[in-house]
Amino acid sequence: MLCTRVVRRGSQVVKTAPEGCLYAHPHYTETVDLPSVRIVAEGSDWRAELLEETGDLYVQYKKVFNELDMCFSRARGCKLLLYGPPGTGKSYAARFFSKKWGVKLHVFGPGALLSKYLGETEENIRRALDLARRGDAVLLDEFEIFAMARERVSELKLATVQVLLTELQELDNGVVIATTNADPSLIDPALRRGGRLKPVAVPLPTREMLETYAKLKGLNPPTEGAQNFVEIEDPRETYGTEWYYLLPPLKVPRLEYTIEASRGIYRATWGDVQEVPLSLLWFYFSGRRQVWWLRKPRSDYTYVVDMADSYGAVVFVDSLIAHEVVKFLRPPKNALFVFYMSVPGVHMPPLPATMHTYAAPLETYATSVAASIWAQLRPKCRSANNTETVVKAVWSSC
């Protein structure tokens, strides 16, 4: 059987069209040479890849790499919804992996698809997805703008969602990557299940990932508060995050206490302010696990909770939003959720933690221990009042 297309990386044939073909003809067979891929840095759960011929660099979690490699290497009806905080590399992923696997990419944002004329938006979506049907990749950026849940949209926009449902269900070739910085719960639930779009979480990068990215790109080291890749490229682009705040690892001294829980839902009513247990969790798990501070109000925490459990994060839930967050909790498999105060109707045992020196509960000495460690890490925050020391250090207001 004659091959119409052969994709190679060096001397190795990666894939052919039609699949299983045997013969290549110099005039009738399209030959695609893929760039060489080199892993330039790697951590326990992330890696950095470089396309040597093009110079493209991508730093990301291995779970995300695995999903996208599988998707683009086959390019046979793969449909993913990449969701998470801004600046984490969701849109760039489609550009990087299309080059890595030799799949032609077409990018569509809301401006290219939405129209004020009746029926034209739906026709634009059909044309875009037709490109995937012929084996190409299609990036639908800011997907939530034209795929919101049907109960949230007008009758005119309802037709747009219906077209997406039908077209994605029937798509069996190519690649579709949809991206969103918004909560996926805003997107119609039917689009997130049943052979349409598979949700893939893209969390904030760790400090190690940010430092590696800056070094490999020849940029200045990340600032203390940097949360994503965009802030490395331009420190003026400080997003913060509507999802959660990823606490950077600290070079803590030897700790004289042990936290005897690794997963589950607990309360830590230590000290007069919530910054005390937050600090002690931050110190203890720093460098070993991601420590998240969930502190901004949202309408739905389902996907934040799922993301935390998927990556085994330690999550401190701010008292401001505690009553809302518990509505979306279920017994975690990998994550540790800690609340400052108990929430009525929710079983939250005290977080077990012990002081080594006194063989006593950490709760008894929590404020003084936290203040002592912060005084070593940030001497300018030292105050005569231990609670004030902790609060000033946590908020970097010293």
In a domain, 237, yes or no: no
Give the per-residue pLDDT at 125.
93
Give the integer Cα–Cα distance in Å for 313 and 320: 20
Using the predicted structure, report yes or no on whether residue 225 has a pLDDT greater than 90. Answer: no
Give the integer Cα–Cα distance in Å for 1 and 387: 76
Are 147 and 267 part of one and the same domain? no
Are 125 and 259 part of one and the same domain? no
293-325 burial by CB neighbour count: b if 16+ within 10 A, else e?
bbbeebeebebbbbbbbbbbbbbbbbeeebeeb
Are 290 and 381 part of one and the same domain? yes
Give the per-residue pLDDT at 32.
83
Distance of CA 293 to the CA centre of its chain: 15
**Pairing mode, strands 105-108 and 137-140:** parallel
In a domain, 238, yes or no: no
Which residue, of 176, 201, 226, is where some domain finishes? 201
In a domain, 236, yes or no: no
Are 303 and 177 part of one and the same domain? no
Residue 235: which pLDDT band, with cuts at 50, 70 and 90? Answer: low
DSSP letters of 51-68? Answer: ETTTTEEEEEEHHHHHHH
Are 195 and 277 part of one and the same domain? no
Using the predicted structure, report yes or no on whether residue 363 has a pLDDT greater than 70. Answer: yes
Both tokens of residue 90? 């969701």
Are 279 and 163 part of one and the same domain? no
In a domain, 50, yes or no: yes
Q: Looking at the chain, how many residues does it have? A: 398
Rg (CA), the chain: 24
What is the residue range of 334's domain? 244-394
Per-residue pLDDT of 372-386, as tens digits, reads 999 999 999 999 999
Both tokens of residue 266? 């607990």
In a domain, 273, yes or no: yes
Report the range of poorest mean pLDDT among 15-19, 149-153, 247-251, 266-270: 149-153
Sign of CA dihedral 215, 217, 219, 223: negative
Per-residue pLDDT of 127-168, as tens digits, reads 999 999 999 999 999 998 877 755 554 555 677 888 999 999
Give the residue carrying structure tokens 């190690």: 208
Mean pLDDT over residues 217-241, rounded? 80
Using the predicted structure, report yes or no on whether residue 28 has a pLDDT greater than 90. Answer: no
Which residue, of 141, 171, 201, is where some domain finishes? 201
Are 282 and 377 part of one and the same domain? yes
For residue 78, the cross-strand partners are 175
- What SS3 class is residue 32? strand
Give the per-residue pLDDT at 150.
54
Give the per-residue pLDDT at 331.
93
Which residue, of 201, 227, 259, is where some domain finishes? 201
Are 21 and 60 part of one and the same domain? no
Are 342 and 257 part of one and the same domain? yes
Per-residue pLDDT of 326-337, as tens digits, reads 999 999 999 999
In a domain, 62, yes or no: yes
Q: Evaluate whether 268 touches 256 at the Cβ level (below 8 Å).
A: no
Contacts of 372 (CB under 8 A, 6+ apart): none
How many structural domains does the chain have?
3
Give the integer Cα–Cα distance in Å for 40 and 215: 11
User: Which run of H or E residues covers position 79?
Assistant: strand 76-83
Are 249 and 278 part of one and the same domain? yes
In a domain, 390, yes or no: yes
Give the integer Cα–Cα distance in Å for 52 and 113: 34
In a domain, 331, yes or no: yes
Q: Evaluate whether 41 touches 47 at the Cβ level (below 8 Å).
A: yes
Q: Evaluate whether 113 touches 124 at the Cβ level (below 8 Å).
A: yes
Q: Evaluate whether 171 touches 137 at the Cβ level (below 8 Å).
A: no
Give the integer Cα–Cα distance in Å for 46 and 212: 11
CATH number at residue 83: 3.40.50.300
Is the pLDDT higher at 344 or at 282? Answer: 282
Q: Evaluate whether 84 touches 181 at the Cβ level (below 8 Å).
A: yes
Are 157 and 120 part of one and the same domain? yes
Contacts of 121 (CB under 8 A, 6+ apart): 113, 114, 115, 146, 160
Are 188 and 257 part of one and the same domain? no
Using the predicted structure, report yes or no on whether residue 242 has a pLDDT greater than 80. Answer: no
